[in-house]
Amino acid sequence: MRIFIPAEVEPGETRAALVPSAVRRLVKLGADIHVEAGLGRSLKISDADFRAAGAEVAISRRDGLESAALVLRVRKPPAEEIALLKNGCIHISYLDPFKETALVRQLAGAGVSAISMEMIPRSTVAQKMDALSSQANLAGYAAVLLAASRLDRIFPMMTTPSGTIPPAKVLIIGVGVAGLQAIATAKRLGAVVEAFDTRPAVEEQVKSLGAKFVKIDLGETGQTAQGYARELTPEQLARQRDALAARCAQADVVITTAQIFGKKAPVIVTRTMVEQMNPGSLLIDIAVESGGNVECSRVNEEVEIHGVQVLGPANLAGRVPRAASEMYAGNLVNFIAHFWNPEKRTLHLDPQADILRNCLVTHGGERMTNDQ
């Protein structure tokens, strides 16, 4: 099976879908790997490194796309490149299928079998393919390092002959994968950390990391079968804001990560809440790309309100591109290995199979209805 990996074209994207160690694993399966020249440029990985791992460098991007049976990317395909793909080609990438309905229709119309990495289920068996988790983990880590580098004070308590500096106070709102890693990273740096999530199951996880769980009585909240949070009612959200306003006001750093799968992120920190924070404190909105948890955060912008910095960095995992690409490539290879037919040396897709029922969004010219 010929697999092609084009370089990413989205401005600011530093990750690559495959790295040489992942090429070696695919070659071992019997796949024929072709990469676009310059695929690893942002990672300082040369074409020669990819060749040494067993890949060929394609004549051109166009040739690579036209001749591939399987295309691997990080970001969704540019619309103008879909027509280049062969009928029956399999395409694996992030797709943002809830928003990108026209793109999904186009993929179906071109006879492409499109797999959306966002739709990989959060099950034990699919954990090794779960790019949402691998990238969210790095986002949580990168957000804390960004906060530490931008704060005008330090995270750990420091006792010196000059006096004692108290530890920074960090509040994490939303404790999924990114939030847990943010707690762990902030604790390692010596901060005093507290956290809140609407899913009650999270309390134990927060405590096990040595952080304090902020308790807010919101009534029934619950979670979906996949473990995702349910959307709060407007009354519950108002109660949450009231309770968190005081916690934000005493924090040096607030990191928000709250998301609702397939929907716009809830606005949890209002402008008024930001205005009540101490000048010099800092907010990082990890959910900024899905609508934002902070009323005044903007994608890739830094806003200052009454001396409080509000940062909305997109693609936080892309700030550690080597680790992010290695993890993403690992997720892709695990996916391919799981569905690989060793006799035919090809990827076998049964739309009814476990995992594929969730993440195969177009197949045989049709848009699929996915379980979630």
DSSP state, residue 233? P
Piece of the chain touching ligand NAD by CB under 6 A; list 3-11, 15-23, 174-182, 207-215: 174-182
Minimum CB distance to ligand NAD, residue 271 (Å): 17
List the catalytic residue out of 15, 130, 240, 281.
Answer: 130
Minimum CB distance to ligand NAD, residue 45 (Å): 28
Tokens of 161: 């002959």
127 noted as active-site residue: yes
Answer yes or no: are the C-beta atoms of 189 and 156 closer than 8 Å. yes
What is the distance between the alpha carbons of residues 172 and 211, in angstroms, rounded to a whole number?
10
Q: Are strands 169-173 and 163-165 parallel, antiparallel or unpaired?
A: unpaired
Interface with ligand NAD, residue 292, by CB under 6 A? no
Q: Which of 2, 91, 122, 363 binds ligand NAD (CB under 6 A)?
A: 122
Q: Roughly what angle, to the nearest 10 degrees, separates helices 177-188 and 131-150?
A: 40
What is the distance between the alpha carbons of residues 230 and 342, in angstroms, rounded to a whole number?
41
Name which of 259 and 331 has its Cβ closer to ligand NAD.
259
List the catalytic residue out of 123, 223, 228, 357.
Answer: 228
String of contacts with ligand NAD for each residue 134-173, x by CB under 6 A = --x------------------------------------x
- Of 269, 346, 355, which is closest to residue 308 (Cα–Cα)? 269
Which of helix, strand or coil describes residue 227?
Answer: coil
- What are the Cα distances from residue 106, in Å, to 57, 76, 84, 90, 91? 28, 12, 12, 14, 13
24 noted as active-site residue: no
Query: By CB neighbour count within 10 A (0-12 exposed, 13-18 middle, 19+ buried), where does 12 fall?
Result: exposed
Question: Phi and psi (nearest 5°) for 304?
Answer: -115, 125
Question: Please, which of residues 236-265 interact with ligand NAD by CB under 6 A?
Answer: 240, 257-261
Name which of 100 and 118 has its Cβ closer to ligand NAD.
118
Question: Please, which of residues 175-204 interact with ligand NAD by CB under 6 A?
Answer: 175-179, 196-199
String of contacts with ligand NAD for each residue 309-338, x by CB under 6 A = ------------------------------
Tokens of 372: 């979630």
Tokens of 232: 């709060």
List the catalytic residue out of 67, 127, 223, 276.
Answer: 127
Q: Roughly what angle, to the nearest 10 degrees, separates helices 20-29 and 321-338?
A: 10
Interface with ligand NAD, residue 123, by CB under 6 A? yes
130 noted as active-site residue: yes
Answer yes or no: are the C-beta atoms of 173 and 214 closer than 8 Å. no
Q: Determine the residue with CB nearest ligand NAD.
A: 176
Minimum CB distance to ligand NAD, residue 178 (Å): 6
Answer yes or no: are the C-beta atoms of 313 and 297 closer than 8 Å. no
What is the distance between the alpha carbons of residues 254 and 69, in angstroms, rounded to a whole number?
45
Minimum CB distance to ligand NAD, residue 315 (Å): 15
Which residues, in sequence order, are bridge partners of residue 173? 196, 256
List the catalytic residue out of 93, 113, 116, 133.
Answer: 133
Minimum CB distance to ligand NAD, residue 217 (Å): 14
String of contacts with ligand NAD for each residue 263-282, x by CB under 6 A = ---x-x--------------
Piece of the chain touching ligand NAD by CB under 6 A; list 6-14, 48-56, 123-131, 303-311: 123-131
Residues within the interface to ligand NAD (CB under 6 A): 122-124, 127, 130, 132-133, 136, 173-179, 196-199, 227-229, 232, 240, 257-261, 266, 268
What residues act catalytically? 122, 127, 130, 133, 228
